Amino acid sequence: MTGMDVGASVARAAGLEGRVAQLLRLGTYTAVALISLGVVLMLASGRSPLDVAPPLDPGHLLDDLLAARPSGFLWLGMLVVLVTPAARVAVSVVGFGRAGEPRMALTAVLILGVVVLGVVLGTAGT
């Protein structure tokens, strides 16, 4: 790798870090906004945080949001919380691939594989 190639690779990696940082911030603030809205709706409807909430049902999530049910916003906020780190890794797969770092891209793919396995095993236990 020539000095110019190394410089270009470092510049691309710096761009990737910036994109990852933006994604993390966007995901976190979106999640906090959704959760805050859910908490306001929960209080407005007279529910207590210690009440048992309806379980997560992806099929009814949109209906819950349209009906302004607190559980809909809270569940969506939590899903955004959990998806954001995986989205950060997915962006890294592309970023490292473009930067010519196949081993880092493969590492990112393997991380996503472990997360997906967690989802599968979590679902299997329900």
Partner 1 sequence: MAIALLLLVGGVAVGIFGSLLGLGGGLLIVPLLTLGFHLPLREAIGVSLVCVIVTSGATAGVFLERRVANLRLGMVLELFTAIGALLGGLVAFLLDERVLAGLFATLLVYVAVSMLRPRGATTAPATGGPADANGAPADGSGFVERLSGPGYRIRSLPAGFVGSVGAGVTSALLGIGGGLVKVPVMHIVMGVPLRIATATSNLMIGITASTGAWIYLLRGGIDPYATGPTAMGVFLGATIGARVAHRVDLRVLRVLFAVVLVYTAAQMVRRAAGMQ
Interface ranges with partner 1 (CB under 8 A): 1, 6-7, 9-10, 13-14, 16-18, 20-22, 24-25, 27-29, 31-32, 35-36, 38-39, 42-43, 47-53, 55-56, 70-71, 74-75, 77-78, 81-82, 84-86, 88-89, 92, 101, 103-104, 107-108, 110-111, 114-115, 117-119, 121-123, 125-126
Q: How far is the CB of 116 from partner 1 (least distance, A)?
A: 9
As a whole number of angstroms, the distance between CA 74 and CA 7 comes to 45
Q: What is the DSSP letter of 69?
A: -
Answer whether 12's CB lies under 8 Å from 92's CB. no
As a whole number of angstroms, the distance between CA 93 and CA 36 comes to 32
Q: Whose Cβ is closer to partner 1: residue 55's or residue 59's? A: 55
φ, ψ dihedrals at 39, nearest 5°:
-65, -40
Continuous segment of H or E residues that includes residue 79:
helix 70-98
